[in-house]
Amino acid sequence: MDWTVLDVSLNEDSSETTTKRAILNMDVMVRMKEAEKGQQEIWIGYTPNERTYAALVDYQIKHLDEVIFAKERALWCPETNKKNTEHSDFVAEYCVFHGHSRWKNANGVKVEVRSIELLPIIDMTQKDAYRNFLVKSGEHNFYVNTRILAEHYGGTFFDQWNAMQKFGHVGANISDDRSMRFLFDACVRYDRLVIHDGNFMNIGWCALSIGSEKLMRAVEQFVIDLKGMHPVKKIEISAELLCARLFHSATNQLGPPAVAHRKILEYAHQNNLSLDYLHPALQALSIVTPEHIITT
């Protein structure tokens, strides 16, 4: 799908501007205003026409056609994105940009949004013929389809629940409330697996915890497909989640040693890191050796 462009440049006589566009079933709004100490604030948010749908979107902020901020596969969900008290008329995400000479008059600023997919939201607290196994997790109750979870994802809990239901059990109790909520939000809430920029690491850790190879491979493929993530970051993630295919994909992205070393330096500079702070997985590549380590 093509980008929808929202021009949010400030005029010399104004300190705030708001732009609004309709994208599928959402009204997307962007507000930009001057803030303290030479900062510019850009708020990106949306109002869904139907609160029973969420959306996967890409969005980026440009200044004079240069991308200065970008997100891939962000989830905009009216149930999970809280309204902000200052911008109470829409569900908001926000970014604060520090003053810079190129931002002096805040001209030439655009926000581009691209909707990837609309997702119907399922009420997991309601039992139906399709989801009839009750999982009690802390103060929360979830109804799930154990057969689908076991067949599609596997792992300790899902396989066990499916076996329990076959023997006549109608539910189960678990203590790890936070992890299960991440899993159910990803695997059940939208009636299929939904991995996005805000949950992929948590889903990866959950996959390791419950031993779900299928879920881990889905997370691994998600990270591999991210075009805007630096390969050094992907290598760090591959080491944390034990993903060999992601590791090889990211090292191939880095290129030969001389090119790879330059990219690592760029990554360290962009993130205000010293090279000795980078993940030990980079040392294993023999790309950054002790004589290369410097403080930036």
CB neighbours of 208 closer than 8 A, spacing ≥ 6? Answer: 216, 241, 242
Per-residue pLDDT of 163-194, as tens digits, reads 999 999 999 998 876 788 889 999 999 989 99
Categorize the per-residue pLDDT at 36 as very low, low, confident or very high, splitting at 50, 70 and 90: low
Structural domain ending residue among the three candidates 222, 249, 277: 222
Residue 126 in any domain: the answer is: no
Residue 192 in any domain: the answer is: yes
Is there a contact between 34 and 61 (Cβ–Cβ < 8 Å)? no
Between residues 49 and 133, which one has the greater pLDDT? Answer: 133
Residue 125 in any domain: the answer is: no
pLDDT value of residue 188 = 93
Average pLDDT over residues 282-294: 51
Work out the mean pLDDT of the chain and round it to a whole number: 81
Average pLDDT over residues 48-75: 84
If you count them, how many residues does the chain have?
296
CB neighbours of 121 closer than 8 A, spacing ≥ 6? Answer: 51, 52, 53, 54, 77, 79, 189, 190
How many Å apart are CA 215 and CA 49, to the nearest integer?
32
Average pLDDT over residues 250-263: 86
Residue 29 in any domain: the answer is: yes
Instruction: Give the CB-side neighbour count of residue 248, counting CA atoms within 13 A.
Output: 2
| Count of the separate structural domains present in the chain | 3
Structural domain ending residue among the three candidates 70, 98, 120: 120
| 116 and 144 together in one domain | no
| 217 and 241 together in one domain | no
pLDDT value of residue 290 = 44
| 60 and 163 together in one domain | no
276 membership: H or E segment, kind and range:
none
Whole-number percent of the chain with pLDDT over 90: 36
What CATH number does the domain containing 92 carry? 2.60.40
Is there a contact between 144 and 102 (Cβ–Cβ < 8 Å)? no
**Cα distances (angstroms) measured from residue 16 to each of 30, 65, 102, 295:** 11, 21, 18, 40
| 205 and 260 together in one domain | no
Highest mean pLDDT out of 25-34, 35-44, 179-188, 279-288: 179-188
The 8-class DSSP code of residue 279 comes to: -
pLDDT value of residue 101 = 42
| 142 and 217 together in one domain | yes
Instruction: Give the CB-side neighbour count of residue 118, counting CA atoms within 13 A.
Output: 11
pLDDT higher than 90, residue 72: yes
Average pLDDT over residues 60-77: 86
| 101 and 167 together in one domain | no
65-69, 157-161, 195-199: segment of lowest average pLDDT: 65-69
pLDDT value of residue 99 = 47
Instruction: Give the pair of three-digit tokens for residue 41.
Output: 């604030």
pLDDT higher than 90, residue 211: yes
Domain limits at 54?
4-120
Residue for token digits 């915890």?
Answer: 209
What CATH number does the domain containing 142 carry? 3.30.710.10
Between residues 283 and 58, which one has the greater pLDDT? Answer: 58
pLDDT value of residue 172 = 93
| 256 and 275 together in one domain | yes
pLDDT value of residue 41 = 76
Query: Residue 234 — φ and ψ, nearest 5°?
Result: -65, -35
Average pLDDT over residues 4-14: 73
92 membership: H or E segment, kind and range:
strand 91-97
Residue 127 in any domain: the answer is: no
| 137 and 56 together in one domain | no
